Amino acid sequence: MSDPFAADGVWLKSALHTHTKRSDGELDPAAHVRHHEWMGFDVCVITDHWTLTDEPSTSRTLVVTGAELAVDPLGEGRFTEILAIGIDDIPADPGGDRTHWQRIDNYDFRTFPDLTAAGRHISGNGGVSVIAHPYWSGLPLEVLLAADGIEGIELFNSSAERENGRGDASYLWDMTLEAGKGFFGFATDDCHYPGFDIGDAWTMVRAAERTEPAFLEALRTGMTYASSGPTIRGVRLDGDAVEVECSAASSVVLMSRYETGWGVRADARNREEDAFILERDPAGLIVRAMVRTAGGIAVPTARGHGPRGPTGLDERALTLACPSRTHAGRVMAQMSGGPSRGFRGILPADLGFNETTRGVVTSRRGHG
């Protein structure tokens, strides 16, 4: 497994979860893709509910066909959904309980029996599986731990955050990682109405080239970080410390298991002990910092405060996700107009991370 910051290739700003009027979105597929192109997306994955929407790529934006599928509900109205990115087949009978099947908007809603069955079908058709909005869906930890053959989890869904404040699933991700479940973390818009819900969250994908096979392989291997604003430019282990380079940040924090960790702040309340500011920008914000590890247990994080985004969201955030051979470490960056919250990525074991750890980088301004 490779470090996405050191690997050859191209960074692709990617929308992994989007809907057109072929299911329950507002625009026809061509207009939907044009909006993503205007917003600077390199990849637009169309994940219409139980529908394969094929739309040509443009000169700027690679279009990938996917779908949002579902499994039998945990209770009344509690449906568990899963993204199937890059598939070419949806089964007429996925094997779930037919009493839940129904016509919704422009699609026929069906179910698999469980997430493992759905993941098996997705991987068997060459796709990448991502559990959608687990906090918004109210998924218990045991449901996530029982899901086998799944590549990732939506750690942040900006539509769910806007709708009812349940878009940040990073605590669930923490719990799965600490239990040894190596989900990669992704951020998405879950865009239905591009005039209102586009460009708030995305996943940066380090692909070998700008093609669908290379893009899917990068998702499978965690060559990604997820952002709603800031940029992480690099993370490396330097002896017994972690060094992180990022866009201008108001704080950089190392987070490990439970209460262990340390951080630095750009303001007058900073106290350096096991964390040090290595470089500031002309405005005094942090662009490079080092945090000492505790026996190799560490991950950098950054938090910050800034203006509301164009849609009025209180916060914008970034997460790095890299592959891990053994245990998981995490890094996050966030820009916030309200209370800061972080999202994490999985750091590679070959950088020396041998326990579950996380970090946050929060930017005060700028968009990644």
Cα(224)–Cα(206) distance, integer angstroms: 6
Answer positive or negative: Cα dihedral of 193, 195, 201, 202. positive
Domain annotation covers residue 76: yes
Domain annotation covers residue 216: yes
Q: For 51-68, write each residue's pLDDT tens digit.
A: 999 999 999 999 999 999
- Tokens for 4, please give them: 């996405």
Tell me the three state secondary structure of residue 305. Answer: strand
**pTM given for the model:** 0.83
Note whether 162 and 23 are same-domain residues.
yes
Q: Given this model, what pLDDT does residue 367 score?
A: 27
Domain annotation covers residue 265: yes
- Which is more confidently placed, 90 or 229? 90
Note whether 122 and 26 are same-domain residues.
yes
Cα(284)–Cα(282) distance, integer angstroms: 5
Nearest Cα neighbor of 359 from 243, 281, 278, 279 is 243
Domain boundary (227, 245, 264) is at 227
Note whether 313 and 184 are same-domain residues.
no
DSSP conformational letter for 191: B
Helices (H), 135-282: 141-145, 158-164, 170-178, 212-220
Range of the domain at 276: 232-363
pLDDT band at 353 (very low <50, low <70, confident <90, very high): very low
Note whether 241 and 178 are same-domain residues.
no
- Tokens for 276, please give them: 């040090």
Q: Where residue 209 sits, what CATH number does that domain have? A: 3.20.20.140
Asked if residue 306 has pLDDT above 50, the reply is no
Q: Given this model, what pLDDT does residue 49 score?
A: 98
Q: For 171-229, write each residue's pLDDT tens digit.
A: 898 788 778 888 988 999 999 999 899 998 899 999 999 999 999 999 999 898 888 77
Cα(231)–Cα(366) distance, integer angstroms: 9
Mean per-residue pLDDT, 104-117: 97
Give the Cβ contact number of residue 287 at 10 Å.
20
Asked if residue 103 has pLDDT above 90, the reply is yes
Q: Given this model, what pLDDT does residue 106 score?
A: 96
Percentage of the chain beyond pLDDT 90 is 51
Q: How many CA atoms lie within 13 A of 158 on its CB side?
A: 33
Residue 107 near residue 48 (C-beta atoms within 8 A): yes
Residue 117, amino acid: A
Helices (H), the chain: 29-38, 115-124, 141-145, 158-164, 170-178, 212-220
- Tokens for 111, please give them: 């179910």
Nearest Cα neighbor of 203 from 215, 187, 219, 221 is 187
